[in-house]
């Protein structure tokens, strides 16, 4: 059992969603109808010191970088729905290692990125004196109900495209400095290019598999085409390292040429990396049809590994 | 410097709020205009194991109680605006002490309370293996723009009313079992009785002072009238213990009689505990005019006490 399964089991126990909840939990964001043809997008994510950034010593993140990353991860979820981020709320719990100066610098980084993306912080809660540094952020965004892109829209014959490069995100510092693909996601949604989309946080394979599972399709990855972050990044690293925060999206075959022609982001690589196929059971394989394992970064598995199957029981 | 001051300094550095942000940060919730005369209310709060509930040994909270409290605290913030809660998102970070069974029971408690109040959980993030148990919850609610009650509406001559009782919340277990005053808050707002409102989480004195500061008024408390939770609760405990999660609200003098007559919640005490007065500097005093100190539960002060005044500097 992994985090997806735990949450899915949890959400299944909830009452039927009301009609205003157009996109129930299970996608990058939930989507609530708020009138005027708009959806409010909401998501929450957390950042743990020592896990999502190095706390001390060589490679330690600056407080500004940690704060920036907390918001950036969440903006990536809004990007994956084709939305525009608007507001955020933060809850931070800090260890005695951190003084007010550290916390202020943490928010400096967060607020600077918020300014770049036109996001306003509208609420906060602070707790201090706990053993670890844990910060949560809830993000609110919006998207037209007709524009929103879900994970479930990929069809057999669609092509899988990716923005940017993959692998070695932590080693290269990309995980602290990446620019969330909000611009790109919004453009893809507005212009009707993306039929399904997800952001790659846990690794290309895991997140591609999530797209397949939501859409009920298989995927043949052209693994050799996947852009790697550095010349010595291995294929395995590109597929499973995670923390790339790039977009993976399905494009109808007939729109491929137009997408390549119109893509306005000269600084962002756009690469076709696979094709979706019909299937009985969703899968991800390489171009030769060899099944690729669903591997990547799932911090939750080790915790729940020993008790699989107990969620519905006792 | 306390948490309020830190957050206020932080929010002051943000760009001017857009017109849709009808209620900027600094109240119990922020309020965003979403059309049809409705405001979306949003807030975030966190729950730390060992601080907001006892982890182990005598008086240890059941996991269901911890999960319930995480949501209940947030519902209380919606109640304080006169709103109706609708959705929540959770982020939980758990220690190795907690297995999946604990986490499932934690959510059992949360979901049961959510069901009582018609709240739907629409997003979650789970992290495990950190030293402490820290959980955050963002709540979304709604209220009519004409009904919403802020902290800033109290006028000289208004009476201060309180729901329920005060003091010894932790000792009696009230802090785990309290019922958020959403019904009561919504009724007060819909019927135009409350001109200003706040929920008491950090203590009656601290939260009354927040009302005064936001409204620019003074307050003479009839301290002897404040209902105490148990016969042996001292006045000091009633004023400063916190965790009461009751509503404090300002009522125009001419509406007092009608309020008492119409109050439909037979099981919830309604007590007039003071009167607002004009002032140069907001204050809270007793009925004899003796100033009462702004004392209560502020976990943040000890942390920042040594570095007052540095927020705007370096």
| Average pLDDT over every residue of A183-204 | 97
pLDDT level of residue A103 (50, 70, 90 thresholds): very high
Flag whether residue A297 sits within 8 Å of chain B, measured between CB atoms: no
Topology adopted by domain A3-144: 60s Ribosomal Protein L30; Chain: A; (3.30.1330)
pLDDT at A306 over 50: no
Tell me whether residues B121 and A14 touch, CB distance under 8 A: yes
Mean of per-residue pLDDT scores for chain A: 90
Q: In this predicted structure, what is the pLDDT of residue B98?
A: 86
- Interface list for B 133-152 with A (CB within 8 A): 134, 136, 138, 140
Q: In this predicted structure, what is the pLDDT of residue A302?
A: 43
pLDDT level of residue A6 (50, 70, 90 thresholds): confident
Q: Where in chain A is the domain with CATH 3.90.650.10?
A: 151-301
Q: Where in chain A is the domain with CATH 3.30.1330.10?
A: 3-144
Q: From chain A, pick out residues whose CB is under 8 angstroms from the CB of B314.
A: 101
pLDDT means per 10 residues, chain B with 314 residues, are: 78 75 94 91 94 87 97 98 97 88 95 96 89 94 97 98 97 96 98 98 95 96 97 95 97 98 98 96 88 68 36 28
Q: Where in chain B is the domain with CATH 3.90.650.10?
A: 151-299
Domain A151-301: top CATH class? alpha beta
Tell me whether residues B93 and A46 touch, CB distance under 8 A: yes
The 10s digit of each residue's pLDDT in B138-155 is 999 999 999 999 999 999
Distance (Å) of CA B273 to CA A14, A20, B249: 41, 41, 10
| Average pLDDT over every residue of A239-257 | 97
Q: In this predicted structure, what is the pLDDT of residue B314?
A: 28
Q: From chain A, pick out residues whose CB is under 8 angstroms from the CB of B111.
A: 10, 13-14
From the candidates A37, A48, A91, which should be mutated to test the interface with B, based on the most B CB atoms within 10 A?
A91
Flag whether residue A123 sits within 8 Å of chain B, measured between CB atoms: yes
Domain B151-299: top CATH class? alpha beta
pLDDT at A296 over 80: no
* Option in A48, A111, A121 nearest B130 (CB): A48
pLDDT level of residue A146 (50, 70, 90 thresholds): very high
From the candidates B126, B299, B313, which should be mutated to test the interface with A, based on the most A CB atoms within 10 A?
B126
Q: In this predicted structure, what is the pLDDT of residue A305?
A: 36
Flag whether residue B312 sits within 8 Å of chain A, measured between CB atoms: no
What is the ipTM for the molecules in this complex?
A: 0.89
pLDDT level of residue A158 (50, 70, 90 thresholds): very high
Q: In this predicted structure, what is the pLDDT of residue B288?
A: 84
Q: In this predicted structure, what is the pLDDT of residue A308?
A: 30
Q: In this predicted structure, what is the pLDDT of residue B100?
A: 87
Flag whether residue B231 sits within 8 Å of chain A, measured between CB atoms: no
Q: In this predicted structure, what is the pLDDT of residue B298?
A: 56
Q: Between A58 and B92, name the one with better pLDDT.
A: B92
Q: In this predicted structure, what is the pLDDT of residue B289?
A: 83
CB burial of residue A166 (10 Å; 0-12, 13-18, 19+): buried
Give how far B272 is from chain A: nearest CA, Å. 30
The 10s digit of each residue's pLDDT in A32-56 is 998 889 999 999 999 999 889 988 8
* Option in B7, B131, B136 nearest A131 (CB): B131
Q: Between A281 and A180, name the one with better pLDDT.
A: A180
From the candidates B46, B111, B311, which should be mutated to test the interface with A, based on the most A CB atoms within 10 A?
B46
Give how far B257 is from chain A: nearest CA, Å. 36
Q: From CA A42, how far away is CA A56, in angstroms rounded? A: 32
Flag whether residue B19 sits within 8 Å of chain A, measured between CB atoms: no
């Amino acid at each position: 059992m992994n985090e997806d399964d735990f949450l899915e089991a949890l959400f299944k126990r909830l009452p039927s969603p009301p009609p205003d909840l157009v996109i129930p939990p299970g996608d990058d964001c939930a989507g609530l109808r708020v009138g005027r043809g708009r959806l409010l997008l909401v998501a929450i994510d957390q950042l743990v010191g020592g896990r999502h950034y190095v706390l001390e010593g060589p490679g330690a993140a600056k407080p500004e970088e940690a704060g920036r990353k907390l918001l950036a991860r969440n903006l990536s979820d809004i990007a994956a729905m084709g939305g525009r981020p608007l507001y955020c709320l933060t809850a931070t719990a800090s260890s005695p290692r951190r003084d007010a100066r550290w916390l202020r610098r943490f928010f400096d980084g967060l607020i600077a990125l918020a300014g770049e993306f036109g996001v306003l912080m509208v609420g906060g809660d602070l707790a201090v004196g706990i053993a670890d540094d844990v910060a949560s952020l809830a993000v609110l965004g919006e998207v037209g109900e007709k524009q929103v892109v879900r994970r479930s829209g990929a069809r057999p014959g669609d092509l899988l495209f990716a923005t940017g490069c993959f692998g070695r995100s932590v080693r290269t510092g990309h995980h602290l400095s990446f620019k969330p693909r909000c611009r790109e996601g919004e453009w893809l949604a507005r212009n009707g290019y993306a039929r399904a989309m997800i952001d790659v946080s846990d690794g290309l394979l895991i997140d591609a598999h999530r797209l397949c599972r939501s859409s009920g399709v298989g995927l043949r990855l052209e693994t050799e085409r996947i852009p790697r972050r550095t010349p010595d990044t291995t294929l395995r690293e590109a597929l499973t390292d995670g923390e790339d925060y790039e977009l993976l999206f399905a494009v109808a075959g007939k729109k491929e040429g137009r997408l390549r022609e119109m893509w306005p982001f000269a600084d962002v690589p756009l690469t076709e990396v696979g094709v979706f196929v019909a299937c009985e059971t969703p899968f991800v394989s390489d171009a030769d049809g060899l099944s690729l394992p669903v591997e990547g970064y799932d911090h939750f598995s080790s915790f729940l590994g020993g008790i699989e199957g107990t969620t519905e029981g006792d």
